[in-house]
Amino acid sequence: MPTALPTLKRQQSPLADAAYQRELLEQGSERLRELPRFSARLAESGLSPLRPLALQVLQVNVGKRCNQTCKHCHVDAGPERDEQMDRPTFAACLDALRRFGVDTLDVTGGAPEMNPHFRWFVEQARPLVRQLLVRCNLTILVAGKRFLELPAFYRAQRVHVVSSLPYYEAKFTDRQRGEGVFERSLKALRLLNAEGYAQPGTGLELDLVYNPAGAFLPASQAALEADFKRELKSRHGIDFDRLYVLTNLPISRFLEYLERSGNLEDYLERLVSAYNPAAAEGVMCRTTLSVGWDGTLYDCDFNQMLELGLVPDTPQHIRDFDPAALARRAIRTGQHCYGCTAGAGSSCGGETVR
């Protein structure tokens, strides 16, 4: 297995600092300062302040440790990251689910499977929600002996697996995620298929996630899904259910790529030009609440990585979870939010405008 690239934190890059990222996006150059503020576009769309709708999804980021260091990662996850959710914080998440009821639990990371309390949490949470998603990078399933049982564990717990696969060809996947990732991802997908995932009559859901490899917006989700289904089945005999198409947000390592390649201003201008009021109305932060590895609450996973916390006078930690108080808050936004509102929209569930 190739050696993972160092994270921004390991490199001591200025972009490892969330405040520096926010300042760069808002004020980093004259061209960026001249772009319309996202808050102004929301006002033009009649959505200011942006307010939540009924809470449907609790997304829990259980840590930043990962067996990969992907070039686009907005978490800056990697093998040396030691930020991991502890047992008391997991217990507070379970208490919130038990007391207040949420339709869907969405477990993410890093590679969430690397948290030592991960399996216990899934087992405890499964009876409390209608749907339990785990965001899996696939290669973790073949990363060593202690992970080989995970496909069977997922089947037993009826976990909805959402897996990252940037493309159906090795060169594009490996360019973004590391040498050999494509072949290891195929091996993991075959293991999931063998457990019944994406097979008729099992009800075991396996979805894939695509995001562009460069400074451009994704193509149509429906068209890409058709391509992925055809190519993965014909070339490798692999089945999956749905493809989620995500726009890369200018955060962390993708932001570093944009700045290093001289694409930052052009990319932000592209996102601004593609602003879609219908996508703004359907942004995921209106129905999803994000929990950080330390229990801090955020409007979304992207705000979490930019350390853009909830507005004051709102519950700030999962132990203080109060759906009624959270429903009254205004959602915090910034220039990065153009990424979720460009074109057909982008969310952890793919396009938001159908």
Q: Which residue has the tokens 């060809």?
A: 169
Determine the pLDDT at residue 206.
98
Q: Is residue 314 part of a domain?
A: yes
Span 263-294, pLDDT tens digits? 999 999 999 999 999 999 999 999 999 999 99
pLDDT in tens, 209-240: 999 988 999 999 999 999 999 999 999 999 99
A 10 A CB-CB count for 148 gives 12
340 — alpha (psi -120 to 50), left (phi > 0) or beta?
Answer: alpha
354 is a domain residue? no
Separation CA 345–CA 354 (nearest Å): 9
Q: Is 351 within the bounds of a domain?
A: no
At 124 the three-state DSSP class reads helix
CA-CA distance, 13 to 196, in Å (whole number)?
A: 43
- Is 346 a domain residue? no
Residues near 90 by beta carbon (within 8 Å), at least 6 away in sequence: 62, 117, 120, 121, 124
Listed in sequence order, the residues at least 6 apart from 21 whose beta carbon sits closer than 8 Å to its beta carbon are 15, 251, 252, 255, 306
3-state secondary structure of 49: coil
Average pLDDT, integer, range 233-256: 97
CA 131 to chain centroid: 17
- pLDDT bracket for residue 21 (50, 70, 90): very high
In 3D space, the residue among 252, 294, 290 whose CA is nearest the CA of residue 84 turns out to be 294
At residue 116, the 3 state secondary structure works out as: coil
In a domain, 157, yes or no: yes
Range of the domain at 19: 8-341
Inside any domain, residue 192: yes
Average pLDDT over residues 109-114: 97
Residue 348 falls inside a structural domain: no
**Cβ neighbours, 10 Å, residue 145:** 6
Number of domain units in the chain: 1
Query: Does residue 2 belong to any structural domain of this protein?
Result: no
Global pTM value: 0.96
195: domain CATH number is 3.20.20
